[in-house]
Amino acid sequence: MSATTIAQKGIDALAKGDHATAITNLDKALESSNSPAWLLARSKAHQKAKNLEAALHDAELAYHAAAERGSGTSRSHMIQAQYRRAVIYYQLGRFADADCCAKWSMLLAEGRPAREDDGVEKKVDSEGNYTVTYDEFLADKENQPKPKTSDGNALAAAEKGPYSTDWNMAFSWRSQALGRLKNLPKDHPGWKVNVTKIPPKPEKKKAKSPEPAESASEDELKEQKPPQKEAPAPGSVPDEKMKLRIDFYQTNQTVTVSLFVKDVKKEDLKVEFGKHQVRISPIPREAAPYVKPGDREATSTLVLAGEIDPSASRWSASPRKIELVLQKATPGVKWGRWGEEKIGIVESDDQEPAITATSSSAASTAKPALPSTSTPAKVPAYPTSSKSGPKNWDSLPVEDDKEDGQDINGFFKTLYKGSTPEQQRAMMKSFLESNGTTLSTNWDEVKDKVVPTVPPEGVEPKPWNG
Protein backbone atom coordinates (compact mmCIF):
# COMPACT_ATOMS: atom_id res chain seq x y z
CA MET A 1 0.00 0.00 0.00
CA SER A 2 1.42 3.40 -1.00
CA ALA A 3 2.19 6.16 1.49
CA THR A 4 -0.43 8.36 -0.19
CA THR A 5 -3.14 5.74 0.37
CA ILE A 6 -2.12 5.28 4.02
CA ALA A 7 -2.07 9.05 4.57
CA GLN A 8 -5.55 9.40 3.06
CA LYS A 9 -6.82 6.74 5.46
CA GLY A 10 -5.40 8.81 8.30
CA ILE A 11 -7.03 12.00 7.02
CA ASP A 12 -10.38 10.19 6.65
CA ALA A 13 -10.09 8.87 10.22
CA LEU A 14 -9.37 12.40 11.46
CA ALA A 15 -12.54 13.68 9.74
CA LYS A 16 -14.52 10.95 11.55
CA GLY A 17 -13.03 11.86 14.93
CA ASP A 18 -10.94 8.66 15.22
CA HIS A 19 -7.77 10.45 16.29
CA ALA A 20 -5.79 7.35 17.36
CA THR A 21 -6.24 5.68 13.95
CA ALA A 22 -5.44 8.95 12.20
CA ILE A 23 -2.14 9.29 14.10
CA THR A 24 -1.17 5.65 13.44
CA ASN A 25 -1.73 5.91 9.67
CA LEU A 26 -0.09 9.31 9.34
CA ASP A 27 2.94 8.05 11.32
CA LYS A 28 3.39 5.30 8.70
CA ALA A 29 2.92 7.67 5.76
CA LEU A 30 5.38 10.22 7.14
CA GLU A 31 8.13 7.60 7.33
CA SER A 32 8.58 7.99 3.55
CA SER A 33 7.66 11.65 2.98
CA ASN A 34 7.89 14.91 4.91
CA SER A 35 4.63 16.18 3.40
CA PRO A 36 3.44 19.48 4.97
CA ALA A 37 -0.19 18.48 4.41
CA TRP A 38 0.28 15.18 6.28
CA LEU A 39 2.18 16.90 9.10
CA LEU A 40 -0.63 19.45 9.50
CA ALA A 41 -3.21 16.65 9.60
CA ARG A 42 -1.23 14.76 12.28
CA SER A 43 -0.78 18.01 14.23
CA LYS A 44 -4.56 18.46 14.31
CA ALA A 45 -5.07 14.82 15.34
CA HIS A 46 -2.57 15.21 18.21
CA GLN A 47 -4.24 18.47 19.27
CA LYS A 48 -7.67 16.83 19.32
CA ALA A 49 -6.20 13.96 21.37
CA LYS A 50 -4.73 16.55 23.81
CA ASN A 51 -1.14 15.66 22.85
CA LEU A 52 -0.30 19.36 22.62
CA GLU A 53 3.50 19.11 22.58
CA ALA A 54 3.38 16.58 19.73
CA ALA A 55 0.84 18.77 17.93
CA LEU A 56 3.16 21.80 18.23
CA HIS A 57 6.13 19.73 16.99
CA ASP A 58 4.24 18.76 13.82
CA ALA A 59 2.94 22.29 13.17
CA GLU A 60 6.47 23.76 13.35
CA LEU A 61 7.93 20.94 11.23
CA ALA A 62 5.15 21.50 8.65
CA TYR A 63 6.09 25.21 8.44
CA HIS A 64 9.72 24.38 7.62
CA ALA A 65 8.82 21.56 5.23
CA ALA A 66 6.53 23.91 3.28
CA ALA A 67 9.12 26.72 3.20
CA GLU A 68 11.86 24.39 1.96
CA ARG A 69 9.72 22.82 -0.76
CA GLY A 70 8.87 26.16 -2.36
CA SER A 71 5.94 24.66 -4.26
CA GLY A 72 2.70 26.30 -5.37
CA THR A 73 0.98 25.22 -2.13
CA SER A 74 3.80 26.27 0.21
CA ARG A 75 2.24 29.60 1.24
CA SER A 76 -1.09 27.91 1.99
CA HIS A 77 0.64 25.31 4.20
CA MET A 78 2.70 28.00 5.98
CA ILE A 79 -0.50 29.98 6.68
CA GLN A 80 -2.14 26.85 8.12
CA ALA A 81 0.97 25.99 10.17
CA GLN A 82 0.95 29.43 11.85
CA TYR A 83 -2.77 29.03 12.49
CA ARG A 84 -2.25 25.60 14.09
CA ARG A 85 0.46 27.13 16.32
CA ALA A 86 -2.07 29.77 17.42
CA VAL A 87 -4.67 27.12 18.31
CA ILE A 88 -2.16 25.02 20.26
CA TYR A 89 -0.66 27.97 22.17
CA TYR A 90 -4.17 29.06 23.10
CA GLN A 91 -4.89 25.62 24.57
CA LEU A 92 -1.56 25.77 26.44
CA GLY A 93 -2.68 29.06 28.05
CA ARG A 94 -0.04 31.09 26.15
CA PHE A 95 -2.52 33.64 24.84
CA ALA A 96 0.00 36.34 23.78
CA ASP A 97 1.92 33.71 21.75
CA ALA A 98 -1.39 32.55 20.24
CA ASP A 99 -2.23 36.09 19.09
CA CYS A 100 1.22 36.57 17.52
CA CYS A 101 0.91 33.34 15.51
CA ALA A 102 -2.63 34.19 14.40
CA LYS A 103 -1.41 37.64 13.26
CA TRP A 104 1.44 36.03 11.26
CA SER A 105 -1.09 33.69 9.64
CA MET A 106 -3.14 36.75 8.57
CA LEU A 107 -0.07 38.56 7.19
CA LEU A 108 0.91 35.52 5.11
CA ALA A 109 -2.66 35.29 3.82
CA GLU A 110 -2.39 38.93 2.72
CA GLY A 111 0.65 38.06 0.60
CA ARG A 112 3.32 39.54 2.88
CA PRO A 113 6.85 38.02 2.65
CA ALA A 114 7.42 35.10 5.03
CA ARG A 115 10.72 36.54 6.31
CA GLU A 116 9.48 40.10 6.73
CA ASP A 117 10.47 41.68 10.07
CA ASP A 118 6.99 42.88 11.04
CA GLY A 119 7.78 43.36 14.76
CA VAL A 120 4.65 41.54 15.95
CA GLU A 121 6.45 39.71 18.79
CA LYS A 122 8.30 42.89 19.86
CA LYS A 123 5.17 44.65 21.14
CA VAL A 124 5.99 44.16 24.83
CA ASP A 125 6.53 46.47 27.80
CA SER A 126 9.57 46.68 30.09
CA GLU A 127 8.38 43.61 32.01
CA GLY A 128 7.98 41.53 28.87
CA ASN A 129 4.17 41.63 28.85
CA TYR A 130 2.30 41.80 25.55
CA THR A 131 0.95 45.31 24.92
CA VAL A 132 -1.66 44.57 22.23
CA THR A 133 -5.12 44.73 23.83
CA TYR A 134 -8.58 43.52 22.91
CA ASP A 135 -9.86 47.12 22.72
CA GLU A 136 -7.07 48.07 20.27
CA PHE A 137 -7.93 44.99 18.22
CA LEU A 138 -11.58 46.10 17.97
CA ALA A 139 -10.57 49.68 17.20
CA ASP A 140 -8.33 48.59 14.28
CA LYS A 141 -11.11 48.88 11.70
CA GLU A 142 -8.69 48.64 8.75
CA ASN A 143 -7.84 45.04 9.68
CA GLN A 144 -11.33 43.80 10.45
CA PRO A 145 -13.81 42.04 8.20
CA LYS A 146 -15.75 44.70 6.32
CA PRO A 147 -19.53 44.09 6.34
CA LYS A 148 -21.34 43.82 3.03
CA THR A 149 -24.53 42.06 1.96
CA SER A 150 -25.18 39.16 -0.39
CA ASP A 151 -28.68 39.45 -1.94
CA GLY A 152 -29.64 41.44 1.14
CA ASN A 153 -29.61 38.35 3.34
CA ALA A 154 -26.25 38.13 5.14
CA LEU A 155 -23.01 39.86 6.03
CA ALA A 156 -19.71 38.51 4.72
CA ALA A 157 -16.06 39.14 5.58
CA ALA A 158 -13.78 41.23 3.38
CA GLU A 159 -11.99 39.55 0.51
CA LYS A 160 -8.31 38.89 1.26
CA GLY A 161 -7.23 37.37 -2.03
CA PRO A 162 -7.01 33.59 -2.52
CA TYR A 163 -6.59 32.94 1.21
CA SER A 164 -9.62 34.86 2.53
CA THR A 165 -10.97 31.84 4.45
CA ASP A 166 -7.63 31.32 6.21
CA TRP A 167 -7.45 35.06 7.00
CA ASN A 168 -10.91 35.05 8.58
CA MET A 169 -10.14 31.95 10.68
CA ALA A 170 -6.97 33.57 12.06
CA PHE A 171 -8.86 36.84 12.70
CA SER A 172 -11.48 34.99 14.76
CA TRP A 173 -8.79 33.22 16.79
CA ARG A 174 -7.13 36.56 17.57
CA SER A 175 -10.40 37.82 19.03
CA GLN A 176 -10.55 34.77 21.31
CA ALA A 177 -6.92 35.01 22.45
CA LEU A 178 -7.08 38.75 23.18
CA GLY A 179 -10.48 38.30 24.81
CA ARG A 180 -8.94 35.85 27.29
CA LEU A 181 -5.98 38.16 27.96
CA LYS A 182 -8.36 40.99 28.73
CA ASN A 183 -9.58 39.23 31.88
CA LEU A 184 -6.21 37.96 33.12
CA PRO A 185 -4.08 39.64 35.83
CA LYS A 186 -0.85 41.16 34.54
CA ASP A 187 1.29 38.62 36.41
CA HIS A 188 -0.28 35.72 34.50
CA PRO A 189 2.27 33.91 32.26
CA GLY A 190 -0.18 34.12 29.36
CA TRP A 191 0.90 37.77 28.87
CA LYS A 192 4.51 36.79 28.06
CA VAL A 193 5.70 36.52 24.43
CA ASN A 194 8.06 33.59 23.88
CA VAL A 195 7.50 32.78 20.21
CA THR A 196 9.37 33.75 17.05
CA LYS A 197 7.84 34.24 13.62
CA ILE A 198 9.93 31.46 12.11
CA PRO A 199 9.79 28.62 14.66
CA PRO A 200 12.91 26.63 15.56
CA LYS A 201 13.09 23.63 13.26
CA PRO A 202 12.34 20.44 15.19
CA GLU A 203 13.94 17.15 14.25
CA LYS A 204 11.85 14.69 12.29
CA LYS A 205 10.84 11.65 14.28
CA LYS A 206 12.80 8.75 12.80
CA ALA A 207 11.40 5.25 12.67
CA LYS A 208 13.74 2.34 13.33
CA SER A 209 14.92 0.90 10.05
CA PRO A 210 15.12 -2.92 9.81
CA GLU A 211 18.59 -4.42 9.63
CA PRO A 212 19.50 -6.04 6.31
CA ALA A 213 19.40 -9.83 6.28
CA GLU A 214 22.71 -10.11 4.43
CA SER A 215 25.44 -7.60 3.74
CA ALA A 216 26.30 -7.29 0.06
CA SER A 217 29.91 -7.67 -0.98
CA GLU A 218 31.89 -4.73 -2.35
CA ASP A 219 31.86 -6.23 -5.86
CA GLU A 220 28.08 -6.65 -5.72
CA LEU A 221 27.61 -3.04 -4.62
CA LYS A 222 29.71 -1.85 -7.56
CA GLU A 223 27.55 -3.82 -9.93
CA GLN A 224 24.37 -2.33 -8.41
CA LYS A 225 25.45 1.28 -8.97
CA PRO A 226 23.42 2.89 -11.76
CA PRO A 227 25.44 4.38 -14.61
CA GLN A 228 26.05 8.11 -14.24
CA LYS A 229 24.13 10.31 -16.67
CA GLU A 230 26.36 12.31 -18.97
CA ALA A 231 26.13 16.10 -18.69
CA PRO A 232 24.67 17.84 -21.76
CA ALA A 233 27.11 19.44 -24.15
CA PRO A 234 27.31 23.27 -24.15
CA GLY A 235 24.57 24.77 -26.31
CA SER A 236 22.69 21.48 -26.65
CA VAL A 237 19.73 22.36 -24.40
CA PRO A 238 17.01 24.46 -26.12
CA ASP A 239 15.72 27.63 -24.38
CA GLU A 240 12.27 26.11 -23.84
CA LYS A 241 13.70 23.39 -21.57
CA MET A 242 15.65 25.93 -19.50
CA LYS A 243 12.55 27.89 -18.48
CA LEU A 244 11.69 27.85 -14.78
CA ARG A 245 8.54 26.62 -13.08
CA ILE A 246 6.62 29.79 -12.18
CA ASP A 247 3.49 30.36 -10.05
CA PHE A 248 1.67 33.58 -9.27
CA TYR A 249 -1.25 35.06 -7.35
CA GLN A 250 -2.54 38.61 -7.07
CA THR A 251 -4.39 41.07 -4.88
CA ASN A 252 -5.91 44.42 -5.84
CA GLN A 253 -2.52 46.08 -5.22
CA THR A 254 0.16 43.54 -6.14
CA VAL A 255 1.07 40.52 -8.27
CA THR A 256 3.33 37.99 -6.49
CA VAL A 257 5.41 35.84 -8.86
CA SER A 258 7.37 32.81 -7.54
CA LEU A 259 10.21 31.37 -9.62
CA PHE A 260 11.37 27.92 -8.47
CA VAL A 261 15.09 27.48 -9.04
CA LYS A 262 17.68 25.41 -7.15
CA ASP A 263 20.95 26.68 -5.68
CA VAL A 264 20.30 30.36 -6.33
CA LYS A 265 22.78 32.65 -4.56
CA LYS A 266 21.04 35.72 -3.19
CA GLU A 267 24.25 37.72 -2.77
CA ASP A 268 25.06 37.37 -6.49
CA LEU A 269 21.53 37.96 -7.74
CA LYS A 270 20.72 41.11 -9.74
CA VAL A 271 17.06 42.08 -10.27
CA GLU A 272 16.04 44.99 -12.53
CA PHE A 273 12.45 46.24 -12.47
CA GLY A 274 10.98 48.00 -15.50
CA LYS A 275 7.41 49.09 -16.17
CA HIS A 276 6.68 46.08 -18.38
CA GLN A 277 9.43 43.59 -17.60
CA VAL A 278 11.73 42.24 -14.87
CA ARG A 279 15.27 41.05 -15.65
CA ILE A 280 17.01 38.54 -13.32
CA SER A 281 20.56 37.17 -13.43
CA PRO A 282 22.54 35.04 -12.91
CA ILE A 283 20.16 32.06 -12.72
CA PRO A 284 21.54 28.51 -12.44
CA ARG A 285 19.98 26.16 -14.99
CA GLU A 286 19.46 22.63 -13.68
CA ALA A 287 18.73 21.37 -17.20
CA ALA A 288 21.91 23.03 -18.53
CA PRO A 289 24.68 22.89 -15.88
CA TYR A 290 27.18 24.29 -18.35
CA VAL A 291 25.57 27.75 -18.11
CA LYS A 292 27.80 30.22 -16.20
CA PRO A 293 27.22 33.80 -14.94
CA GLY A 294 27.58 36.19 -17.85
CA ASP A 295 26.22 33.71 -20.41
CA ARG A 296 23.10 34.67 -22.33
CA GLU A 297 21.24 31.71 -20.84
CA ALA A 298 22.03 32.87 -17.27
CA THR A 299 19.53 35.76 -17.63
CA SER A 300 15.74 35.46 -17.52
CA THR A 301 13.57 38.33 -18.71
CA LEU A 302 10.00 38.26 -17.45
CA VAL A 303 7.76 40.05 -19.95
CA LEU A 304 4.79 41.15 -17.84
CA ALA A 305 1.12 41.05 -18.83
CA GLY A 306 0.48 44.43 -17.20
CA GLU A 307 2.23 47.61 -16.10
CA ILE A 308 3.92 47.88 -12.68
CA ASP A 309 5.45 50.58 -10.49
CA PRO A 310 9.17 49.61 -10.45
CA SER A 311 10.05 51.83 -7.46
CA ALA A 312 7.48 50.14 -5.20
CA SER A 313 8.18 46.54 -6.30
CA ARG A 314 10.46 44.25 -4.30
CA TRP A 315 12.00 40.77 -4.27
CA SER A 316 13.36 38.13 -1.96
CA ALA A 317 15.28 34.90 -2.51
CA SER A 318 15.95 31.55 -0.84
CA PRO A 319 18.12 28.64 -2.05
CA ARG A 320 15.13 27.18 -3.93
CA LYS A 321 12.95 30.14 -4.88
CA ILE A 322 12.92 33.77 -6.02
CA GLU A 323 9.80 35.72 -5.08
CA LEU A 324 8.82 39.00 -6.78
CA VAL A 325 6.14 41.29 -5.30
CA LEU A 326 5.14 43.56 -8.19
CA GLN A 327 3.20 46.73 -7.38
CA LYS A 328 0.44 47.27 -9.94
CA ALA A 329 0.58 50.62 -11.73
CA THR A 330 -3.23 50.66 -11.71
CA PRO A 331 -4.59 49.12 -8.49
CA GLY A 332 -7.82 47.16 -8.84
CA VAL A 333 -7.14 45.86 -12.36
CA LYS A 334 -7.06 42.05 -12.47
CA TRP A 335 -4.36 40.43 -14.59
CA GLY A 336 -5.47 37.40 -16.60
CA ARG A 337 -1.94 35.99 -16.40
CA TRP A 338 1.40 37.15 -15.01
CA GLY A 339 3.29 37.19 -18.35
CA GLU A 340 6.00 35.11 -20.06
CA GLU A 341 9.62 34.12 -19.36
CA LYS A 342 12.23 34.75 -22.08
CA ILE A 343 15.77 33.36 -21.90
CA GLY A 344 18.38 36.10 -22.29
CA ILE A 345 18.06 39.89 -22.42
CA VAL A 346 14.96 41.26 -24.13
CA GLU A 347 14.98 44.91 -25.12
CA SER A 348 12.22 46.97 -23.50
CA ASP A 349 10.12 49.75 -25.02
CA ASP A 350 10.10 51.61 -21.67
CA GLN A 351 11.31 55.19 -21.99
CA GLU A 352 12.61 55.26 -18.40
CA PRO A 353 15.61 53.12 -17.31
CA ALA A 354 14.93 50.01 -15.23
CA ILE A 355 15.39 50.19 -11.45
CA THR A 356 18.08 47.78 -10.23
CA ALA A 357 17.55 46.22 -6.81
CA THR A 358 20.62 44.32 -5.53
CA SER A 359 18.88 43.16 -2.37
CA SER A 360 15.36 42.77 -1.07
CA SER A 361 15.98 45.44 1.55
CA ALA A 362 17.01 47.95 -1.09
CA ALA A 363 13.83 47.31 -3.00
CA SER A 364 11.63 47.39 0.07
CA THR A 365 12.99 50.71 1.30
CA ALA A 366 12.08 52.51 -1.91
CA LYS A 367 9.44 55.09 -1.13
CA PRO A 368 6.06 54.30 -2.68
CA ALA A 369 4.78 56.82 -5.18
CA LEU A 370 2.51 59.38 -3.57
CA PRO A 371 -0.85 60.03 -5.21
CA SER A 372 -0.90 63.19 -7.30
CA THR A 373 -2.97 66.06 -5.96
CA SER A 374 -3.42 67.63 -9.37
CA THR A 375 -4.26 64.73 -11.70
CA PRO A 376 -6.41 61.90 -10.33
CA ALA A 377 -5.30 58.35 -11.12
CA LYS A 378 -7.13 56.62 -13.93
CA VAL A 379 -9.82 54.35 -12.51
CA PRO A 380 -10.51 51.02 -14.27
CA ALA A 381 -13.81 50.82 -16.13
CA TYR A 382 -15.94 47.85 -15.08
CA PRO A 383 -18.37 45.96 -17.33
CA THR A 384 -21.81 47.54 -17.47
CA SER A 385 -25.13 47.03 -19.23
CA SER A 386 -25.91 50.75 -19.15
CA LYS A 387 -26.68 52.33 -22.54
CA SER A 388 -24.69 55.39 -21.51
CA GLY A 389 -21.49 53.33 -21.20
CA PRO A 390 -19.12 52.70 -18.24
CA LYS A 391 -19.52 54.93 -15.19
CA ASN A 392 -16.68 56.18 -12.98
CA TRP A 393 -18.22 55.51 -9.56
CA ASP A 394 -15.33 57.25 -7.77
CA SER A 395 -16.39 60.53 -9.40
CA LEU A 396 -19.72 60.60 -7.54
CA PRO A 397 -19.98 63.29 -4.81
CA VAL A 398 -18.76 62.06 -1.44
CA GLU A 399 -21.44 63.82 0.57
CA ASP A 400 -24.39 62.77 -1.58
CA ASP A 401 -27.22 61.82 0.79
CA LYS A 402 -29.16 59.79 -1.79
CA GLU A 403 -29.28 56.04 -1.23
CA ASP A 404 -28.35 55.15 -4.82
CA GLY A 405 -25.23 57.34 -4.65
CA GLN A 406 -23.61 55.20 -1.98
CA ASP A 407 -22.45 51.55 -2.16
CA ILE A 408 -23.17 49.11 0.63
CA ASN A 409 -19.66 49.33 2.11
CA GLY A 410 -20.00 53.10 2.29
CA PHE A 411 -23.35 52.66 4.02
CA PHE A 412 -21.83 50.50 6.77
CA LYS A 413 -18.89 52.87 7.20
CA THR A 414 -21.27 55.79 7.59
CA LEU A 415 -23.47 53.81 9.96
CA TYR A 416 -20.52 52.80 12.15
CA LYS A 417 -18.93 56.26 12.14
CA GLY A 418 -22.17 57.97 13.10
CA SER A 419 -22.99 55.55 15.93
CA THR A 420 -22.41 56.05 19.64
CA PRO A 421 -19.62 54.05 21.35
CA GLU A 422 -22.31 51.79 22.83
CA GLN A 423 -23.83 51.15 19.41
CA GLN A 424 -20.38 50.48 17.94
CA ARG A 425 -19.71 47.86 20.63
CA ALA A 426 -23.03 46.21 19.79
CA MET A 427 -22.18 46.15 16.08
CA MET A 428 -18.76 44.55 16.64
CA LYS A 429 -20.04 41.96 19.15
CA SER A 430 -23.01 40.88 17.06
CA PHE A 431 -21.00 40.71 13.83
CA LEU A 432 -18.15 38.60 15.29
CA GLU A 433 -20.27 36.23 17.39
CA SER A 434 -22.79 35.56 14.60
CA ASN A 435 -20.03 34.76 12.09
CA GLY A 436 -20.98 37.79 10.01
CA THR A 437 -24.70 37.06 9.71
CA THR A 438 -26.15 39.63 12.14
CA LEU A 439 -25.50 43.32 12.75
CA SER A 440 -27.18 44.92 15.78
CA THR A 441 -26.91 48.44 17.18
CA ASN A 442 -28.79 47.63 20.40
CA TRP A 443 -26.22 47.03 23.14
CA ASP A 444 -28.85 46.16 25.76
CA GLU A 445 -30.12 43.42 23.49
CA VAL A 446 -26.77 41.70 22.82
CA LYS A 447 -24.56 42.46 25.83
CA ASP A 448 -25.73 39.53 28.00
CA LYS A 449 -25.98 36.79 25.35
CA VAL A 450 -24.10 35.16 22.53
CA VAL A 451 -25.52 36.33 19.21
CA PRO A 452 -26.49 33.21 17.21
CA THR A 453 -25.57 32.51 13.59
CA VAL A 454 -28.55 33.18 11.31
CA PRO A 455 -27.71 31.91 7.81
CA PRO A 456 -29.55 32.92 4.63
CA GLU A 457 -32.59 30.91 3.63
CA GLY A 458 -31.60 27.56 2.16
CA VAL A 459 -28.13 27.55 3.80
CA GLU A 460 -27.37 25.14 6.65
CA PRO A 461 -24.79 26.28 9.25
CA LYS A 462 -22.24 23.68 10.28
CA PRO A 463 -19.99 23.92 13.38
CA TRP A 464 -16.26 24.24 12.76
CA ASN A 465 -13.96 22.67 15.35
CA GLY A 466 -10.52 24.40 15.50
Which of 113, 136, 111, 131 is closest to 121 using CA atoms?
131
Q: What is the pLDDT of residues 201-218, one digit of tens each?
A: 887 765 444 444 445 555
Q: Cα(291)–Cα(241) distance, rounded to whole angstroms? A: 13
265 CB contacts (<8 Å, ≥6 apart)? Answer: none
Residue 458 vs residues 153, 434, 454, 461: alpha-carbon distances, Å: 11, 17, 11, 10
Q: Cα(180)–Cα(465) distance, rounded to whole angstroms? A: 18
- Domain extents in the chain: 34-191, 239-364, 407-460
Q: What is the pLDDT of residues 16-40, one digit of tens each?
A: 999 999 999 999 988 888 899 999 9
DSSP per position, 252-302:
SSEEEEEEE-TT--GGG-EEEE-SSEEEEE----TT-TT--TTSGGG-EEE
For 239-364, give the CATH class: mainly beta
Of residues 25 and 227, more confidence is placed in 25
Q: Over the range 396-421, which residues count as b (16 or more CB within 10 Å of their CB) and which as e?
A: eeeeeeeeeeeeeeeebeeebeeeee
Q: Is the pLDDT of residue 180 over 60?
A: yes
Q: Over the range 19-55, which residues count as b (16 or more CB within 10 Å of their CB) and which as e?
A: bebbbebbebbbeeebbbbbbbbbbbbbbbeebeebb
Q: Could you give the 3-state DSSP secondary structure of residue 98?
A: helix
**For the chain, percent of residues with pLDDT exceeding 70:** 74
Could you tell me the pLDDT band of residue 76, with boundaries at 50, 70 and 90? very high
Q: Cα(133)–Cα(97) distance, rounded to whole angstroms? A: 13
The average pLDDT across 175-198 equals: 89
Could you tell me the pLDDT band of residue 369, with boundaries at 50, 70 and 90? very low
Q: Is the pLDDT of residue 399 over 50?
A: no
When the pLDDT of each residue in the chain is averaged and rounded to a whole number, the result is 78
Q: Cα(379)–Cα(391) distance, rounded to whole angstroms? A: 10
Using only C-alpha atoms, the chain has a radius of gyration, in whole angstroms, of 26
